[in-house]
Amino acid sequence: MLTGLRILLAEDNSLNQKIANFMLAKNGVEVVTVGNGIEVINELEKNEYDLVLMDVQMPEMDGLEATEHIRKVMKNNIPIVALSASNFEDELKKCLAFGMNAYIVKPIDIVKLSDIIDTLSKENKINTRSTL
């Protein structure tokens, strides 16, 4: 279901990076990994992606600040899925208020991520090259 997607993964924890990269690559996703919001912005200025998986808490620039910059300054509507260790409703509301499209709790559940991507593609937020 995810085959052919190009995803930018923003995650500062190296173990979480390895797990997510393995799981996504195993499902046919091309993954580029960065460690903070500044790197996300730099990467989006240079390359195109289908989706950003954005850790909410990162050093230098967190996921909320990066999303706000992507939406307001870059005027980029790329789908952004928040990654967080927190499962609190307030965290979800905050992420959505900053312009993120969806929210998933770490560790990433590949079935839930597939469902989110399927929903976003049906809403025409993702122009996938995948087999959704």
Domain spans, the chain: 6-122
Q: Is residue 69 predicted with pLDDT exceeding 50? A: yes
114: nearest Cα among 12, 17, 11, 26: 26
pLDDT of residue 129 exceeding 60: no
86 CB-contact burial (10 Å; exposed 0-12 / middle 13-18 / buried 19+): middle
* Residue 15 scores a pLDDT above 50: yes
On the question of pLDDT at 130 being above 60, the answer is no
What confidence score (pLDDT) does residue 132 get?
32
Portion of the chain with pLDDT greater than 90, in percent: 62
**Where does the pLDDT of residue 1 fall: very low under 50, low under 70, confident under 90, or very high at 90 and above?**
low
The pair of structure tokens assigned to 113 is 């991520």
Confidence of residue 122 (pLDDT cuts 50, 70, 90): confident
Is the pLDDT assigned to residue 53 strictly greater than 90?
yes
pTM of the model: 0.89
From residue 35, give the alpha-carbon distance in Å to each of 70, 116, 121, 129: 16, 23, 26, 26
State the average pLDDT over residues 105-127: 81
Identify the band that residue 83 occupies on the pLDDT scale cut at 50, 70 and 90.
very high
Thinking of the domain 6-122, which architecture would CATH place it in?
A: 3-Layer(aba) Sandwich (3.40)
Q: What is the pLDDT of residue 39?
A: 97
